[in-house]
Amino acid sequence: MLNSDYRNILYPCNLGITLSADFSESLTENLTRFINGAFDSFFYNIYVNKWSLNQHFIVNLGREENIRKNEQFNETVTLYPTNIFYASLKRIQNLHRYSTFRLGITNLPLYSSTKKNLIFLYGEAHINRKCAVVSTYNLRDIQMNLQNEPPIVKERIIKESIHELGHLILGNNHCINSDCVMNYSNNLQKVDEKSIFPCNSCDEKLKEIREIYNF
């Protein structure tokens, strides 16, 4: 079943990717390449820009304190609600009207604004706002330094980015195929085991949208 909101979007469209940390050029190049591979012909262009999310901005948006212990890294951190990122991304979207969808990638730890028991998220999509956010915070292993961007971390970032964009196109449901990029992953092993691309079943849903819009 297709996302009931898909008719409000004209395909193909443009995608804006906004980075809130200094990721390597190779990561952004591979991210663009694999997004185009996963969603062939859905995006005319993919634009990448930097994004400064400073403390003043967070306070102005009314950040909710959520201080939690991360057992994986044995550290106490402040988690940030996803709604502040959606608000920021929509502001950017209003300034740059060339993109229909907006994906934000941050290294800050996240929790869901709608389901507050969902913490240390890999990512989340907001279909009505046509934007999604991915956090790299928990995509690293305890022995890894994220700033060095080991190949496995780059691949995880790309997979979760494609996953959240898939929700914007196909809707909130997850795929039951464990190999599909649209399968729900609640640990790094599942992220590493799944493909970077949609499965045949999800590809059929993408094909159906292409047929509707004749592209």
Q: Cα–Cα distance between 179 and 181 in angstroms, integer?
A: 7
Q: Cα–Cα distance between 173 and 41 in angstroms, integer?
A: 22
Percent helix, strand, coil in the chain, to 5, is 40, 20, 40
Catalytic residue among 29, 149, 164, 208: 164
Contact criterion met (CB below 8 Å) for 130 and 102: yes
Residue 211 is a catalytic residue = no
Q: Is the dihedral of CA 138, 141, 146, 152 positive or negative?
A: negative
Q: Cα–Cα distance between 92 and 53 in angstroms, integer?
A: 12
- Residues belonging to the active site: 164
